[in-house]
């Protein structure tokens, strides 16, 4: 299985502030400004984070007049999870096979 696009996804998910953003978005769509009011970082910092989250497709921008709201795409997380699960199973399968060969079975 190709690892490929998984890496940027994990890199995006490997930051605490971004999870705070995702968690906040779990309560409904919100703009960068709105998020900045309840998170301990600047609007611009949040904007950057939203950009990387959008880049990997885990969040989606929705223009509403002059503001841009974001919403989480849960299915993207689930899809990533499926791929990761497959990789984990694959590793166990191969290593078990190798072990059996090594033990002469």
Residue from 13, 48, 71, 79 touching DNA (CB under 7 A): that is 48
Residues that bind a second copy (CB under 8 A): 3, 6-16, 19, 22-23, 26-28, 71-72, 74-82, 84-85, 87-95, 98
Structure tokens at 97: 């096979």
- Indicate whether 6 belongs to the interface with DNA (CB under 7 A): no
Structure tokens at 18: 């971004």
Residue 63: in which H helix or E strand, if any? Answer: strand 59-64
Considering the complex, what minimum distance in angstroms separates the CB of residue 97 from DNA?
24
CB 49 within 8 A of CB 15: yes
Distance CA 25, CA 4 (A): 27
User: Which positions lie near DNA, rule CB under 7 A?
Assistant: 11, 15, 17, 31-33, 40-45, 47-49, 52, 65-69
């Amino acid at each position: 299985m190709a690892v490929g696009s998984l890496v940027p996804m994990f890199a995006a998910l490997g930051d605490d502030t971004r999870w705070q953003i995702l968690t906040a978005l779990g309560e409904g769509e919100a703009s960068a400004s709105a998020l900045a009011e309840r998170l301990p970082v600047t609007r611009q910092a949040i904007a950057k984070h939203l950009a990387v989250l959008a880049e990997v497709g885990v969040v989606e921008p929705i223009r509403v007049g002059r503001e841009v709201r974001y919403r989480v795409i849960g299915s993207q997380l689930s899809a990533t999870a499926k791929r990761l699960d497959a990789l984990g199973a694959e590793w166990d399968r191969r290593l078990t096979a190798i072990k059996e060969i090594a033990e002469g079975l």
